Amino acid sequence: MYAKFYGLDTLAFQLTPDPRFFFDSAEHRRAMAHMTYGLHHAEGFIVITGEVGAGKTMLVDRLLSEIDPRSFLTARIVTSQLGGDDMLRMVASGFGLDHAGLPKATLLTRIQEFVLAQFAARRRALLIIDEAQNLSLEALEELRMLSNIVVGTTTVLQSFLLGQPQFRVIMGNPALDQLRQRITAAYHLGPLSEADTRAYIEHRLGCAGWKGDPQFADECFPAIYRHTDGVPRRINSLCSRLLLFGFLEGSHTISGADSEQVAAELRTELSAVTAAGGKSNGTAVALPVTENRLPMAAISERVDNLERMIISHDRTLRRVIELIATYIEKAEANELH
């Protein structure tokens, strides 16, 4: 809705990774340098960790968009809880290999023959594992064994492991010592700085065709940074709501006060979801309980939160109804002429 109101070509802050919106921050440049080094080293594992929404997937997509597709064949796996044999079947599936009903030994042979054939055709096989923190030790060991497929001194299958911060703890397990020795490059992707947060917001707006409408007051950016901790996905979520808020209010200026208000509303909604048994940013927030009953302070806070949500939703509905009524009036006036 807000894109047309502000004259944008597309939505500026979608949560789905889109390489067109890649922002080359100082943090992402350092991460990209590590990944490029590991890729050109042509062996072992490249490990990238970061918070949920830090931009790990976007980073890898950017790297892949810059390499020659004729020289690389890529398979991507988003993991759940995978065991060793499950991992091998996912690898085979990622490369388009038939694996139904095959015993492990045959499956390993088929994967090996495939990557060797790619190498003979001057193409290197790249395996990208997302959400690597969910892998079992057995699955990680199978990946290590696949890295043993070599021609002379050249590894013909290289793996990217993308995971949340806890994956670094998992990699410290003594059972993974041999895998750690094969890590060619590793980087932890941190949040954006306050300066980069502003540049990131303006960059995404620019990619969406922004021509200064809406105008963001200088006070917006410190508030957005403070409420998102510089994590790109959180920035996208808050800024998307800010533009929707501006549209519903019919405003072409986003103030610092608007940023604070929308951030508070978003936080209230996420807290309500968490209290109902959901999750907020991957972390459950526990409410204090006494004898299986909420204390009066917690009950009062919940009531306040619900009231704020109702007021916010009521304002939104009223604005939408007004816009629909205006549209109908204009349409009827055009028909009369």
* pLDDT given at position 273: 56
Examine the pLDDT at 284 and tell me if it is beyond 50.
Answer: no
> What mean pLDDT is reported for the chain?
84
The tokens for 46 are 């490249």
The tokens for 32 are 């990209």
| Best CA proximity match to 220, nearest among 164, 259, 170 | 259
283 — pLDDT class (breaks 50, 70, 90): very low
**Domains of the chain (ranges, CATH numbers):** 2-9+197-336 (no CATH), 26-189 (3.40.50.300)
Q: pLDDT tens, 65-87?
A: 888 888 999 999 887 677 778 88
Beta partners for 152?
none
Residues 179-186: what's their mean pLDDT?
A: 93
End-to-end CA distance of the chain: 28
| Best CA proximity match to 223, nearest among 232, 233, 235 | 235
| Best CA proximity match to 55, nearest among 197, 169, 183, 159 | 197
Average the pLDDT over each of 210-219, 250-259, 271-280 and give the range with the smallest value. 271-280
d(CA 34, CA 60): 11
d(CA 36, CA 29): 10
Residues 239-255: what's their mean pLDDT?
A: 93
d(CA 36, CA 19): 17
Contact 243, 281 (CB under 8 A): no
* pLDDT given at position 293: 44
The vertex-221 CA angle with 215 and 224, nearest 5°, equals 115
Examine the pLDDT at 165 and tell me if it is beyond 60.
Answer: yes
Examine the pLDDT at 156 and tell me if it is beyond 60.
Answer: yes
Examine the pLDDT at 150 and tell me if it is beyond 50.
Answer: yes
Pairing of strands 154-155, 150-151: antiparallel
Residue position matching structure tokens 């944008």:
8
Max CA distance (Å), the chain: 81
* pLDDT given at position 75: 92
d(CA 108, CA 264): 53
285 — pLDDT class (breaks 50, 70, 90): very low
d(CA 306, CA 138): 46
d(CA 27, CA 244): 29
* pLDDT given at position 82: 73
Higher pLDDT: 306 or 32? It is 32
d(CA 265, CA 270): 9
203 — pLDDT class (breaks 50, 70, 90): very high
* pLDDT given at position 323: 65
277 — pLDDT class (breaks 50, 70, 90): low
d(CA 32, CA 45): 15
Examine the pLDDT at 327 and tell me if it is beyond 90.
Answer: no
d(CA 270, CA 93): 37
Examine the pLDDT at 286 and tell me if it is beyond 50.
Answer: no
Q: pLDDT tens, 82-134?
A: 777 888 999 999 999 988 888 989 999 999 999 999 999 999 999 999 999 99
Q: Is the peptide bond before 214 cis (omega within 30 degrees of 0)?
A: yes
The distance from CA 222 to its chain's CA centroid, rounded to whole angstroms, is 22
335 — pLDDT class (breaks 50, 70, 90): low
H/E element, 210: none
Examine the pLDDT at 298 and tell me if it is beyond 80.
Answer: no
The tokens for 84 are 């060793």
d(CA 105, CA 91): 14
272 — pLDDT class (breaks 50, 70, 90): low
Higher pLDDT: 328 or 223? It is 223
Residues 6+ apart with CB under 8 A from 280: 270, 271, 273, 274
d(CA 126, CA 160): 8
Residues 271-299: what's their mean pLDDT?
A: 46
Examine the pLDDT at 263 and tell me if it is beyond 50.
Answer: yes
* pLDDT given at position 308: 52
Neighbours of 29 (CB within 10 A): 9
**What CA–CA distances, in Å, run from 297 to 104, 209, 288, 305?**
58, 47, 10, 12
Higher pLDDT: 267 or 303? It is 267
Residues 318-325: what's their mean pLDDT?
A: 63
Average the pLDDT over each of 13-22, 130-139, 234-243, 290-299 and give the range with the smallest value. 290-299
Residue position matching structure tokens 């917690």:
298
